[in-house]
Amino acid sequence: MNTTQSILNTAHSTIKLESKAIENLSDLLTEDFAKAVELIYNSSGRVIITGIGKSAIIANKIVATLNSTGTPAVFMHAADAIHGDLGLILENDVVICISKSGNTPEIKVLVPLIKNAKNKMIAITGNIDSFLGQQADYILNAYVEQEACPNNLAPTTSTTAQLVMGDALAICLLELRGFSSRDFAKYHPGGALGKRLYLRVNDLSSQNQKPQVGLETSLKEVIVEITEKMLGVTAVVDNDEIVGIITDGDLRRMLSKSDDFMSLKAKDIMSKNPRRISEDAMAVDAKEVMEEFGISQLLVEHDGKYSGVVHLHDLIKEGII
């Protein structure tokens, strides 16, 4: 067998093994899962998630997911907790402890301290009969038959199972909270995804110049206006209302068809009834219109009056495209 095929076979077997383990998690769910979700949902405190080794890395990711979906969460490393960081846990906080074996030395030291403080504790573990499993108020069973590692040692399948269990928690809490796309945008204002949810057309068009000419504007003035405003387009306006549009393409087509063009006016070369969009519309809506009609600019209106131009490049710059 060649090296390429051997690599692909190993990758296939790893993916199949882990996907089977994830599928098996649904059979391990009990009422404890629902009670754990309700505990967090009804808590006035935060969620403190702790673990050690690879489980600590998974804990960090679950913290990030919870925070981004409306459930305040904080990571606490299990080793650091028993050396001073235990003060992170406040009176009403719920603690989630992640450990495959549930019997590591750090967990055995940490768990009694959490119990003494009267905080409720949820375990995500692959061993429900472990020390952690016996001490937890609620157990989320993340048992896996074997790791993807051929030596059954490196945490691979087990950490994937922990991660999926954390995602299931987060999504259940998201739905209980009625967490909407608008809420999501509040927590992701700087990313492209957040911008898709909150950025409006006016946020873009207001940064551009506002090219416009009248019906009787000469061809020379039209060319100057398009050139100076650098958007490749100008609106043709009558009493502040859009009556047409002239693009670079319109000018090129006009030059190829006419020999006597210096006497032409804007009204002679404009395209009537151009595509337009309200300045209050979402920027992503402008993207969809541009894609549907194969155009790179949209004229923008406010209360039926011309207010500017949004360009394809604006959407690209903001990561909408």
| Nearest C-alpha neighbor of 177 from the set 16, 310, 38 | 38
Annotated binding site: 77
Please give the order of strands across the beta sheet that includes 305-311.
276-278, 297-302, 305-311
Q: Which residue blocks in the chain are alpha helix, DSSP H?
A: 3-28, 31-42, 54-68, 78-81, 105-116, 131-135, 157-177, 181-187, 192-198, 201-205, 219-229, 248-257, 266-269, 283-293, 312-317
Termini Cα distance of the chain: 44
Q: How many CB atoms lie within 10 A of CB 59?
A: 28
Dihedral through CA 289, CA 295, CA 301, CA 305, nearest 10? -140
Tokens of 171: 């999504």
Write down the residue that tokens 């074997």 correspond to: 146
Bind-site residues for Zn(2+): 77
